[in-house]
Amino acid sequence: MINRKVFETEEDWKGFRRGLFTASQINRLLAKAKSGTGLSVGAKTYVKEILSEMIAPPAPDYYNAQMQRGNELEPQAVLAYANAFGLDINSKDFIYTSIGGYVFFWDDAFNVGGTPDIILADRICEIKCPESKNHLEYLLCDTGEDLRDLKPEYYSQMQLNMYLCERDTCDFISYDERLFDEKLHIKIVPVKRDEEHIKLILEKAIEASNYLNILKDKIAL
């Protein structure tokens, strides 16, 4: 069953997410194992990281200059997106999830969760504020398939969030205000819901949950 909750503090939000496979990392479960079946080495490493979060305090968040810039620029990207479609950011139907509490969606049946950047009545959005060389790559993308080939981790992130938010479209937004030509500052790529990919994500999430339970039993958790 899909659930939604709003947390007052980032600490509470992060605490609740412990033990869940989140949309931003879910693609790590999808790598093929060398044997052809089961979880890959990388997927098992991710499961162990989840277990570590459950039994010990989290490591301090790592932020580099680009990540810090992205966090600071994101509200500007939200405004640019709203202006592109004539949307009112103050409308109750326009939810920017970084304001007014920390929103989180999760499904206990598959042990997965996530938070899109924007929630609208008919779609969600994922925002990235990359370096200019990477923004150029997104400018060259026209379809969800293009984005899937370029950044499979973002594609999986959006697919899981569409599942959790029960939406059929996710607009991928790349924003870089440094480009000389203002019309190139924002690129919006609509990504459609991919039921086959979502099915794969949920199947791997079940495998990963079973492996997590095995590890928990080994340490008597």
| Cβ–Cβ under 8 Å, residues 29 and 46 | yes
Q: CB atoms < 10 A from the CB of 99, how many?
A: 10
| Cβ–Cβ under 8 Å, residues 7 and 13 | yes
136-144 long-range contacts (CB < 8 A, ≥24 apart) are: 138/172, 138/174, 138/187, 138/189, 139/174, 139/184, 139/187, 141/172, 141/187, 141/189, 142/189, 143/189, 144/172, 144/189, 144/190, 144/191, 144/192, 144/194
pLDDT per position as a tens digit, 195-213: 999 999 999 999 999 999 9
Map tokens 């499961």 to a residue.
47
pLDDT per position as a tens digit, 100-147: 888 999 999 999 999 999 999 999 999 999 999 999 999 999 999 999
What's the pLDDT band for 62 if we cut at 50, 70, 90? Answer: low
Q: CB atoms < 10 A from the CB of 71, how many?
A: 12
Average pLDDT, the chain: 94
Q: Is the pLDDT of residue 188 over 70?
A: yes
Tokens at residue 97, please? 């999830």
Tokens at residue 178, please? 């440094």
Tokens at residue 161, please? 């969030």
pLDDT per position as a tens digit, 15-46: 999 999 999 999 999 999 887 778 999 999 99
* Three-state secondary structure string covering 43-110: HHHHHHHHHHHHHCCCCCCCCCHHHHHHHHHHHHHHHHHHHHHCCCCCCCCCEECCCCCEEEEEECCC
CA–CA distance, 44 with 108 (Å, rounded to integer): 20
Query: Dihedral sign, CA of 163, 103, 61, 16?
Result: negative
Query: Dihedral sign, CA of 208, 211, 216, 219?
Result: negative
> pTM score, two decimals?
0.94
What's the pLDDT band for 81 if we cut at 50, 70, 90? Answer: very high
In the chain, % of residues over pLDDT 70: 97
Q: CB atoms < 10 A from the CB of 162, how many?
A: 26
Tokens at residue 142, please? 């026209």
DSSP state of 158: H
